Amino acid sequence: MLKTTASKFDPAAGVAAAARWQDYVLLLKPRVMSLVIFTALTGLVCANVPLNPVLAATSILCIAVGAGASGALNMWYDADIDAKMSRTRGRPVPSGRVQGADALALGVTLSLFAVGLLGVAVNVLAAGLLAFTIFFYAVVYTMWLKRSTPQNIVIGGLAGALPPAVGWAAASGTAPLNAWLMVAIIFFWTPPHFWALSLTTGDDYERAGVPMLPVAKGEPATRLQILIYSLILVPLALAPAFTGLGGVVYLAIAALGGAAFVTLAGRLFLTKQRGDAKRLFGFSIVYLFALFAALLVEHLAGLKPLALLPHGLLG
Amino acid sequence: MSDPKHESEAFRKARNGRNIALLIGLLAFVALVFVITIAKLGANVASNGF
């Protein structure tokens, strides 16, 4: 465990400063965790299956802890990259407050607890999907894609998109098309969201040698890709109103929010202003939150979904 | 150089904090497993009609 004989980080000696318990909480990326909790809860509620409140709470807890564990594994593996970027150099491992080995141990232990408990208490499908999510984020994205391809966050985004399907599976033991529709919305939302952020973070990724799209292909190509993904995302986000998942409120939010999203992406493409990238990044968070909040509220309130397509088509 | 006395106090405080957090985490896990067991037992009893 931690050596407690020095107050300053000394990489040569491998000695860390005293870690407070809050540093271990930071390893779990609480802000990412809160989005995971929200989308997983939406998936769980949208399954429309009565579930014991204790088991429902356990499911959300396991999904949140699993997401946190993959965050700790990411921080262990990426400490060298994080140390070079101004946005991340204050994280517990690169700043020397927590040793890398401790972050790894925390990530592995919490992963095992989260997947194991979800499998024993809820069901095996949900546990399997959670294990796949952790594996995809920690191994496929962090260890492989992030350092090797500009498409890193496109493919790696699947890990962040899966929680609604895990939540749905936890409630019902199945993962039907509507659950995967929620996954697809987050999946196609991630690239424009993240690339808009990376357009505003300057040369951070270049310094760290991470081939993010603006670094590898340049800013004009990134703005074009943002626009293309936005044009795929917005119609896709309307789809739940056709498949028996979203209602009138959802349709209105998806239509108005989608129009604003495409407008902001188009403006960024035309003006090439960093301020427009910031605006799109900020709005993308509000947009995704509003879509899932609409689904959550409609299902909690028992509002009827629209199902503009005939039933049976989607199983 | 920093004062070793002050340093060890800071480390002791940090370690105590970590230990208490671990204790709370473990107790919460035990309580959670207990509550889950009761919830699942209750559901099984109800479905078996006892």
pLDDT band at A310 (very low <50, low <70, confident <90, very high): low
CATH fold of A20-174 reads Tetracycline Repressor; domain 2 (1.10.357)
pLDDT at A308: 75
Structure-token match 């904090």, residue found: B17
CB contact under 8 A, B10 and A18: yes
Tokens linked to A183:
């996954």
- Rounded to two decimals, the pTM is 0.89
Which chain B residues touch A19 with a CB distance below 8 Å?
Answer: 14, 18
In percent, the amount of chain A with pLDDT more than 90 equals: 82
Nearest to A4 among B15, B39, B43 (CB): B15
pLDDT at B4: 60
pLDDT at A129: 98
With 0-12 CB in 10 A as exposed, 13-18 as middle and 19+ as buried, what is B3?
Answer: exposed
Phi/psi of residue B34, each to 5°?
A: -60, -50
B14: domain range?
Answer: 1-50
pLDDT at B47: 76
To the nearest whole Å, the CA of A33 is away from the closest chain B CA by 18
Give chain A's length.
315
**In chain B, which residues have pLDDT < 70?**
1-7, 49-50
Lowest average pLDDT, out of A25-39, A110-124, A171-185, A199-213, goes to A199-213
pLDDT at A53: 95
To the nearest whole Å, the CA of B48 is away from the closest chain A CA by 17
Per residue in A94-105, pLDDT tens? 999 999 999 999
Is the pLDDT at A36 greater than 70? The verdict is yes
Domain boundaries, chain A: 20-174, 176-315
The count of domains in chain B is 1
Which chain A residues touch B43 with a CB distance below 8 Å?
Answer: 52
pLDDT at A306: 82
Q: What is the mean pLDDT of chain A?
A: 91
